[in-house]
Structure 1
Amino acid sequence: MSLALTPAMRDALSDWLAGLRALDGAAQATVAAYSADVTGFLSFLAGHWGEAPAPRRLAELRQTDLRAWMAHERGRGICARTLARELSALKSFWRWIAEREGFDATVVLSARNPRFQPKLPRPLTEEAAREVLTIVGLQHETRWIAARDVAVVTLLYGCGLRISEALSLRHADAPLPEVLRIRGKGGKERLVPVLPVARKAVDDYLQLCPLVFSPEDALFRGARGGPLNARLIAKVMEQTRMQLGLPATATPHALRHSFATHLLTAGGDLRAIQELLGHASLSTTQVYTGVDSARLLDVYERTHPRR
């Protein structure tokens, strides 16, 4: 695809991506996805126009060009959700390049996202979450590794951490305080209360762990001493859910969903839950109200005497 870019466009794209990393604190996966999405659009535009556009020529983009790209994407099987993500990346790049080149970005910025039904998170029940915390510790015969796995999943469920956030903790963070400062997506910081059970789980792991730590070492380590790989936690969750008969949606990230849903069910304030999860927008957190409503409707339909 990069062959469809002029040298000037490649430089512009590189500068924009560098800004995402440095100024916006975008994660590497986000930068890679945005790069692929925008490069894909520019490649399409080169074929559509008959030549690779220079940055200044992007001012000539019309709504018909944008609609042609959307039709092309849907024609190759891209779903509405993915197309909405691609359009989001395109808007971010267009806003930046239009300001740099001095043209009006309205054509792209005013484009409406394709409609799609948002997927509801699939949390565990409270009983299943408790069982997971118990069974996870039985998956490995080495005691310190079993304790490590318990500590990680307890942080995911007890604090609502992303797996990347839990694995980014350093030995200097231990013993965990009552309130932990977490740097999440986009470099956004938040304060997360740490339950006593989570602090104890981490303490138990460190007491059993035979490895030597320096303050800046990863808190959670693999069997060979390196930083713990997230795939190992996914694997232990897979073993656990198979033993408990849970669905394939019972992943490490489902524990974070469970944290939010169970707080909401217990009467937690939506704005407070947003802060605990580190969501930039309240609309992201509001999906959990849909989960709670769906669960209530299911209970109603199964138990109401007039059903």
Structure 2
Amino acid sequence: MTGFASARGAQAPYVWSWELRSVNGKGLDLRLRVPDWLEGLEAALRADLARALTRGNVTLSLRLTRGDAGGAGVLNPAVLAAALEALARIEAEAQAKGVDLAPSRASDLLGLRGMLEAGADSEDNGALIAALKAELGPLIAAFLEMRETEGAALERLLRVQLDEVGTLIARAADLAEARKAAMAETLRNNLARVLDNVDGADADRVAQELALIAVRADVTEELDRLGAHVGAARDLLDKGGAVGRKLDFLMQEFNREANTLCSKSQNSDLTKVGLDLKALIDQMREQVQNVE
């Protein structure tokens, strides 16, 4: 979802510059900074961005200046009157309390927010707005091209990580198979020890309880689900498009199965594989946050 694009343009007497950037986000959050005196421009730009993008915190900035005398701007009478009234009140209060203030300067007032309305005169801004709208398409195209380049690199990384997950799953399956004989022998010894030391115990009930312990230690289902998640993630990458939310959900499922594998392992080597899986899945989750 991260990306950046910039552009410059001009139409006498105006010159302008664009910046379009985005960072990770759960949804699509559009933030536009455009002159408010260009009526209807922000709504049109927002609509175009919403059609082109689906995810990310996106900021579009337009800096517009005027090259002729009109660039000095037009005074806002209401803001000027309010500023002068406030200034007179401050000076009167200061004089009444015997406080000397430095003389006020016109430049101080001109720097107040809203004092100058650049371009907010009676001229028709239709041609300017049309020119600005026309530039958004190429800007978005350049922005998407950068994101696609980064996305291709991210896809390659995720595929490598999925291959590593598959390797760890195969390793875990081998370890789980190798521990079966040892676990069975341990269970038989435990059963014999219990039956030898507990008079009147129900042998069938004890055997059932030990069988349940064996079932709870079986990690076959977890490994099968992890393998299915790997396949689902690869399918999403093959499909392309806006798959970030689905991949994010899959990462949660990956993590759940890895946690269960660790809790049921009862074997140091298998536990290590489970921890390696968790670490790798965490890395993948960080990368997936940047997928649209």
What is the TM-score when the length of structure 2 is the normalising length? Answer: 0.28
Q: TM-score, normalised by structure 1?
A: 0.27
Name the one with the larger strand percent. Answer: 2
RCO higher in structure (CA 8 A, sep ≥6): 2
The higher radius of gyration belongs to 2
